[in-house]
Structure 1
Amino acid sequence: MAATRRIAVGVAVAAVCASSLGGCASGPEAPRQGAPGAPQKGPQLPGSLVRLIGDGSTAYTGAQPHLPRPERLKAGEKPPQFVVFSWDGAGEDGQRLFSHFREVAKANNATMTFFLSGVHLLPREKRDLYRPPRHAAGSSDIGFNDARGIADTVEQVRLAWLEGHEIGTHLNGHFCGPDGGAGKWSVEEWKSEIAQAKQFVKTWRTNAGLNNAASLPFDYDKELIGGRTPCLEGRNNFVKAGSELGFRYDSSGVNNQVWPGKRDGLWDLSMQLVPFPGHTSEQLTTDYRFMGDQSGTRTQGDPAQFDSWGEQMRDGLLKGFHRAYDGNRAPLVIGNHFESWNGGTYMRAVEDVVKEVCNKPAVRCVSFRQLADWLDAQSPGTLAELRTLRVGEAPKQGWASFLPARPAPAPKGAPGAPGA
């Protein structure tokens, strides 16, 4: 009973944070919420507001705060410029990049998608609980975590969700390449990988022995609606598996800067090709592809090149942004990692882009969930018209005469539809 009361108080703290827009104690005077042994203090909410799930690692605490209601475009209205910043394998370690980019987002009117790897919430001593497809139990190409790393990551995931960010999945062991890589996995193997990613999020409290840490304030079975595969491999079967499991989008592909459609019922929210400064070719909107063309397989190349490499990525992303902003207004999708590759130059480049674009008129820096909500709210005829615009192409007669005057009603039950 005492353990149950401690869990309930922890959830209450999370719920209070939500209602006060993140007004919980912080700084050196306050213990880090979720740290091993940190006391859980705060007012007790009525039990009817909180429903613990399983061992209390997660809990239902109501609708996610700070999610805007999507609105349907009116006839002749210019679409907003959506930009999605997403992070593969998001976790908090000694670099503190998760917490840093939460602050960057807060200062620049942005929400983001954090793709959590399930094994980041699994301690090394419990590694055999992971049964990866076509690999021995307990295998992982990105390792596992310890209690402090799990507590720190859970704390950031909790705060991010309360601030309106999305928690997606980057699956688990990050297996790439021809020998057992995810590119060869079947639909059923992907279903197993997805189920295990969910399970590790739903049982981190028991697995890591963090009985005093506050619950994650969401039901992950409902929260999880999309992800990105490791190395962008195995996408076809992953999309089929995700479709059967109720996902709403996938971001494991490569596309041009055009308006998205659907694959197997999922929104295709792929990363995109943007101008590559100094080259005639284009580059994918992700740090590791820029790094690959700059320093090859070395994650720490020539320090004399760090600044210019970061500027090259920043300028390429900005060129892609302006091409859409002044053209077809297609959503710009950017994917990155919490890494210090080449001296952290790509982190600085992304931060510069957030500050440059997210405060512009008619720009919405959103999560994939928010973008999918908006797409679902639009008339199919409107989206079909938008998809006729090529990369960088604005309507020849202007936006006022471009979209249909009488869009068809939204599908029943779609966000923004009557009676939804």
Structure 2
Amino acid sequence: MSRPLLATCLLASLVLPAAAEAADRPKQLVIISFDGAHDNALWLKSREMAARNGAHFTYFLSCTFLMNEAAKKAYQAPHQKRGKSNVGFAQSENEIRERLGNIWHAHLEGHDIASHACGHFDGRLWSKADWSAEYATFHATLKNAWKSVGLEEPSDWQDLVDHSIKGFRAPYLSATAGADMIAAEKKAGFTYDASLVTKGPAMPVEEDGILRFGLPLIPEGPSEKPIIGMDYNLFVRHSRGEEDSADSKAFEDRAYAAFSQAFNRQYNGDRIPLQLGFHFVEMNGGAYWRALDRLVSDVCHRSDVACVSYSESIPMIEARGKLQQTSGL
């Protein structure tokens, strides 16, 4: 064998196994979600961010932002006074009309519309009946949302409400201990829950037919102290929950560094899906939304990365055959 041919064969023997190994690796999944999903300007901003980067997001809706004045007065969450909500209500019917348009167009664009219940109450002591009542209010509010503000609904709106809203995240990530919340979710037709917190990125665990996801603890800041991968938790750590726009760029850089480190650890490692959570509030001058934009702009265009919704991630995770047997708590 000639030396050039031998060199070519040796090179191929090194390159081909590496290429095969890379081809066998699953895509790195990045799952971005938003809680509340009320501010119409941020609906537009998030949808533009997703479109620009080929991403799909999950929007956990709080249904009080779709309640007209009559529904607002009638709403009563479990163990609460009538007309009370911890996150407020829609300010006008025009605001609701615009929000409905954003929800519908987000659905058409491939985003995941999911439930964050209604009035954002801590349900850790709620019973199955309590959760079922809140889920029923959520469902009824969405069923009647367009008609309640005098609009003709899209032809497939009822199908979306009845068959496509499959996920739930508990307000405050405050899940009921025991089986009550999960039993109520199953009764309501949900197939996944995203209310857990895990020690690090973890595969979801199945519980009584519900696939349970958790936001991970990720290293952050100079000391790399773990923190839940969510904007509000960063807001509390960085500025004690007080708005500090003057240091917005520093907070953005810290958040982006934490997000990037968490991504790279999985991308270069086991490729466990990375979940990050946000709110429709631009805390600390928008620091955390800018950090998110930087992350998705950096990673979502890669051929071996998929920035997907929770619903889209489930068949991809199941195809790996590695559903976790414990929750990683």
Instruction: Tell me the TM-score range normalised by the shorter chain.
Output: 0.7 to 0.9
| Structure 1 residues 212 and 280: alpha-carbon distance in aligned structure 2, compared to 1, 3 A threshold | closer
Gaps of 5+ in 1: 1-73, 176-180, 391-420
Residues 100-156 of structure 1: per-residue CA shift (max 9 Å, x gap): 111111111111111111111102343123120000121111111121111111001
Q: Going by fraction, where is helix more abundant, 1 or 2?
A: 2
TM-aligned CA deviation for residue 79 of structure 1: 1.2
Report what 1:128 is aligned to: 73
Residue correspondence of structure 1 range 337-352 to structure 2 within 5 A? 337-352=279-294
Query: TM-score, normalising length from structure 2?
Result: 0.86
Aligned partner of 1:276 among 192, 202, 220: 220
TM-aligned CA deviation for residue 258 of structure 1: 2.6
TM-aligned CA deviation for residue 205 of structure 1: 2.4
Question: Is residue 375 from structure 1 mapped to residue 317 from structure 2 by the alignment?
Answer: yes
Aligned partner of 1:169 among 99, 107, 115: 115
Report what 2:278 is aligned to: 336
Question: Is residue 245 from structure 1 mapped to residue 191 from structure 2 by the alignment?
Answer: no
Q: Distance in 1 between matches of 2:28 and 2:285?
A: 31
| Structure 1 residues 102 and 357: alpha-carbon distance in aligned structure 2, compared to 1, 3 A threshold | same
Report what 2:262 is aligned to: 320
Q: Going by fraction, where is strand more abundant, 1 or 2?
A: 2
* One-letter identity of the residue aligned with 1:105: A
| Structure 1 residues 215 and 292: alpha-carbon distance in aligned structure 2, compared to 1, 3 A threshold | farther
Report what 1:111 is aligned to: 56
Residues 180-229 of structure 1: per-residue CA shift (max 9 Å, x gap): x3221111100111111111111112322x23564663331211111111
Report what 2:82 is aligned to: 137
Q: 2:256, 2:295 within 8 Å by CA — same for their partners in 1? A: yes
Report what 2:9 is aligned to: none
Q: 1:205, 1:213 within 8 Å by CA — same for their partners in 2? A: yes
Q: Distance in 1 between matches of 2:75 and 2:314?
A: 31
* One-letter identity of the residue aligned with 1:157: I
Report what 1:291 is aligned to: 235
Q: Distance in 1 between matches of 2:236 and 2:97?
A: 32
| Structure 1 residues 119 and 338: alpha-carbon distance in aligned structure 2, compared to 1, 3 A threshold | same
Q: Distance in 2 between matches of 1:269 and 1:128?
A: 34
Q: 2:74, 2:82 within 8 Å by CA — same for their partners in 1? A: yes
Residue correspondence of structure 1 range 101-250 to structure 2 within 5 A? 101-145=46-90, 146-175=92-121, 181-208=122-149, 210-212=150-152, 214=154, 217=157, 218-236=159-177, 237-250=180-193
Residues 295-330 of structure 1: per-residue CA shift (max 9 Å, x gap): 1132x12x3311111111111011000000000100
CA RMSD of aligned residues (A): 2.1
Report what 2:206 is aligned to: 262
Q: 2:147, 2:153 within 8 Å by CA — same for their partners in 1? A: no
Residue correspondence of structure 1 range 15-26 to structure 2 within 5 A? none
- SS of 1:182's partner is coil
Compare 260-269 and 104-113 and name the one that shifted more.
260-269
Report what 1:408 is aligned to: none
Residue correspondence of structure 1 range 57-136 to structure 2 within 5 A? 77-93=24-40, 96-136=41-81
Q: 1:318, 1:353 within 8 Å by CA — same for their partners in 2? A: yes
| Structure 1 residues 216 and 287: alpha-carbon distance in aligned structure 2, compared to 1, 3 A threshold | farther
Residues 231-281 of structure 1: per-residue CA shift (max 9 Å, x gap): 111344322311233321111111121322212322121111112121242
Report what 1:43 is aligned to: none
- SS of 1:196's partner is helix
Q: 1:154, 1:216 within 8 Å by CA — same for their partners in 2? A: no
Q: 2:260, 2:295 within 8 Å by CA — same for their partners in 1? A: yes
Q: Distance in 2 between matches of 1:106 and 1:291?
A: 27
- SS of 1:336's partner is strand
Q: Distance in 2 between matches of 1:328 and 1:377?
A: 15
Compare 324-333 and 348-357 and name the one that shifted more.
348-357
Q: Distance in 1 between matches of 2:227 and 2:136?
A: 33
Compare 322-331 and 221-230 and name the one that shifted more.
221-230
Residue correspondence of structure 1 range 3-82 to structure 2 within 5 A? 77-82=24-29
Q: 1:157, 1:216 within 8 Å by CA — same for their partners in 2? A: no
TM-aligned CA deviation for residue 97 of structure 1: 1.0
Q: 1:183, 1:234 within 8 Å by CA — same for their partners in 2? A: yes
Report what 2:304 is aligned to: 362
Gaps of 5+ in 2: 1-20
- SS of 1:85's partner is strand
Report what 1:353 is aligned to: 295
* One-letter identity of the residue aligned with 1:190: W
Q: 2:216, 2:275 within 8 Å by CA — same for their partners in 1? A: yes
Report what 2:15 is aligned to: none
Q: Distance in 2 between matches of 1:280 and 1:338?
A: 26
